[in-house]
Structure 1
Amino acid sequence: MQQDKFIGQVQNRAPLSSRSDAELATRATLKTLAGRLAGCELLNSATQVPRGIAEYLRHEYTGSGERFSLNEFFGRVSRRESVEVPDAVHYPHVVMEVLSEGISSGEINNICSQLPLEFDPLFEVSSRGRIRVNT
């Protein structure tokens, strides 16, 4: 999947009013996720996405595995995006849905295996192809 398509999918599914908002949502979500995981899981995933998206996965804290809850994840995304928490709950679901379509299921499983069970809803897709929000 090309970067324009990735960002376009986030923009359309969120829905967001501009491409720059979709880029911001994607960057905030993936950089926050990168800080949560230990080792090189996201670096492995980065090889399967466009270069611009991959840069968000190569966050300065990648590999640190800083522990924080799903609620803290949403709070950090909210602060990075400068949006209200309800939007910071919705947008990461969309970003993860698009990411899940762009990388192998094995890579998604490797990412999920490092996260506590409370993060599972972030990666669950409903029968209509939309991520279920359980928060």
Structure 2
Amino acid sequence: MPLQRALRFGTIALAIITVASLAIWGGVRGLPGIWGVVVGAAIGGGFVLITAALVLVTSKSSPSTTMAVVLGGWLLKVVLLIIVLMIIKDMEFYDTMAMFITIVLAMITVLGTEVWGIITSRVTYIS
């Protein structure tokens, strides 16, 4: 199924980006860099992967149910993101640049690999 393939590709891409970012930012900024990468990967990769997982879970339901669940999940993720960012904004345990770059890279890479997983999957068409 294309959605499962997309989710698998996205998860693998997130793991690769996370490990590479941990190596780079851990070497450059130490422990704050590592924490920035962990938070950034959770936010950036989690945001995209949860949406794909919600679509996969509701794929057997009606389109309106799928859209309601995806929209509700998106709104919940935005609220949680705002809360998390408000809580950690004045904390100094993480490097903000490491977090920002990891969020951007994770979102772009995970979304790109999910799209690649869907468009390159072989699906039987019956007309």
TM-score (norm 2): 0.37
Higher helix share: 2
TM-score (norm 1): 0.36
Using CA pairs under 8 Å that are at least 6 residues apart, name the structure with larger relative contact order, 1 or 2: 2
